[in-house]
């Protein structure tokens, strides 16, 4: 340690600071940082990088950049990890232009971005559907002699698929294969989702079958994406076939798969099957979340099974899954549509009491009832962004 210029006392402190930052105790990590400085122990690049990462995770950007400047004043040279941490953190919060500025700053300092830096920046643009800008970063990366990785390609493929530019996504897939890069589950799930949206679930299914025939073993996420595509296009039988295929392959469907199928069954009018599938969750060791419960409540309300819907709604809290504003709006709308104003009023009082807001559909259903409108507007949140006409 001494030969490498690292004070022996600093190593355990760095480990503690790292642990505190990972647990989001950034203020405590900063206190320790200043404490070790007061003892005459000089922080190194690892110390600064760790704190910058923690500050980025807590969205404390001003302090993160303050520490970058402090590094320079202390003659501690920032490295690729320093800058990549800032770029990734900024991109995750949608501050892509600032992230791009950090990349320019690091290049001015003689540090070339690596694949991780470029991938983070591309991902930032993709989150804002700026696919052409993401492509520019990709091309810049290649021109600088930085080799794209599976992650880099997958980010751009995902971005193209989101914008329904499936042909460009497929060309990238071919390119990465030619370069000997093996697409991963994320790559394929993006393409399958893109094919479902841009073309048809049948096109996605053909792509899926071709992959399987070539030796690819899909995971639960890939299956769930295709099942979702079939359900959204009212191809319930094909979705159920995939569900059974998963089970035959000993792939355990997750809660997302079950929730998607329950929703699809309700929309197809197969109420009994939807209820049976919901009841299987506990047998399979799965616990419904607020999304699954809300699907059940909505489906039962649509079928005029309001008593059952309320029973499921009340069961949520008993199972440690508190209803959210969406859950309340769904069941209130169910009672309003079936003219049960008494129960709707009770639920509105309950919703307002918990500080939840009414959505536009709920407001529209009560717009001619002055009493209910007043109840909804008594919650400050519900009056924001909703205009009564």
Name which of 221, 273, 229, 220 is nearest 251 in CA terms.
220
3-state helix, strand, coil in the chain (%, to 5): 70, 0, 30
Q: What is the pTM of this model?
A: 0.83
Residue 381 has pLDDT above 70, yes or no: no
Residue 6 has pLDDT above 70, yes or no: no
Domains of the chain: 184-285 (1.25.40.10), 287-372 (1.25.40.10)
First to last CA, the chain: 72
Kindly report the average pLDDT of the chain as a whole number: 91
Which are the contacts of 130, defined by CB distance < 8 A and separation ≥ 6? Answer: 96
Q: What is the mean pLDDT of residues 6-33?
A: 89
Contact 87, 118 (CB under 8 A): no
What is the three-class DSSP state of 194? Answer: helix
96-125 pLDDT per residue, tens: 999 999 999 999 989 999 999 999 999 999
Contact 183, 150 (CB under 8 A): yes
Residue 9 has pLDDT above 60, yes or no: yes
200-249 pLDDT per residue, tens: 999 999 999 999 999 999 999 999 999 999 999 999 999 999 999 999 99
What stretches of 39-149 show up as alpha helix (H) in DSSP?
Answer: 45-57, 61-73, 80-92, 96-108, 115-127, 131-143
Burial 88-100 (b: 16+ CB within 10 A, else e): bbbbbeebbebbb
With 0-12 CB in 10 A as exposed, 13-18 as middle and 19+ as buried, what is 247?
exposed
**Beta-carbon neighbour count of residue 19 at 10 Å?**
12
pLDDT score, position 388: 35
Residue 28 has pLDDT above 90, yes or no: yes
């Amino acid at each position: 340690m001494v030969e490498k210029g690292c004070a022996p006392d600093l190593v355990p402190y760095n480990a503690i600071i790292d642990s505190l930052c990972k647990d989001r105790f950034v203020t405590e990590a900063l206190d320790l940082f200043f404490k070790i400085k007061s003892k005459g122990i000089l922080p190194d690049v690892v110390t600064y990088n760790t704190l910058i990462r923690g500050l980025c995770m807590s969205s404390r950007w001003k302090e993160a950049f303050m520490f970058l400047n402090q590094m320079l004043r202390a003659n501690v040279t920032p490295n690729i990890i320093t800058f990549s941490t800032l770029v990734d953190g900024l991109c995750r919060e949608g501050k892509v232009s600032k992230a791009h500025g950090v990349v320019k700053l690091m290049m001015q300092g003689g540090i070339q971005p690596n694949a991780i830096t470029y991938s983070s920046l591309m991902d930032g643009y993709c989150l804002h559907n700026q696919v052409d800008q993401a492509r520019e970063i990709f091309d810049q990366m290649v021109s600088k002699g930085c080799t794209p990785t599976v992650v880099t390609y997958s980010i751009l493929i995902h971005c193209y698929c989101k914008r329904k530019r499936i042909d460009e996504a497929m060309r990238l897939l071919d390119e990465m294969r030619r370069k000997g890069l093996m697409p991963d589950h994320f790559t394929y799930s993006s393409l399958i989702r893109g094919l479902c949206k841009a073309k048809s679930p049948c096109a996605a299914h053909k792509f899926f079958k071709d992959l399987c025939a070539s030796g690819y073993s899909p995971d639960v996420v890939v299956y769930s994406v295709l099942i979702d595509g079939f359900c959204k296009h009212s191809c319930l039988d094909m979705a159920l076939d995939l569900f059974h295929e998963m089970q035959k392959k000993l792939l355990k469907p997750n809660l997302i798969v079950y929730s998607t199928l329950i929703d699809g069954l309700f929309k197809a009018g197969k109420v009994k099957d939807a209820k049976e599938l919901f009841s299987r969750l506990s047998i399979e060791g799965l616990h419904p979340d607020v999304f699954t419960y809300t699907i059940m409540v909505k489906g039962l309300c649509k079928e005029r099974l309001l008593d059952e819907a309320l029973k499921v709604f009340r069961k949520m809290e008993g199972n440690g899954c508190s209803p959210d504003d969406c859950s309340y709006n769904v069941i209130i709308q169910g009672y309003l549509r079936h003219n049960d104003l008494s129960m709707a009023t009770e639920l509105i009082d309950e919703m307002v009491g918990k500080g939840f807001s009414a959505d536009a559909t709920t407001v529209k259903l009560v717009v001619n009832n002055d009493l209910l409108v007043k109840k909804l507007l008594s919650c400050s949140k519900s009056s924001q962004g909703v205009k009564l006409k």
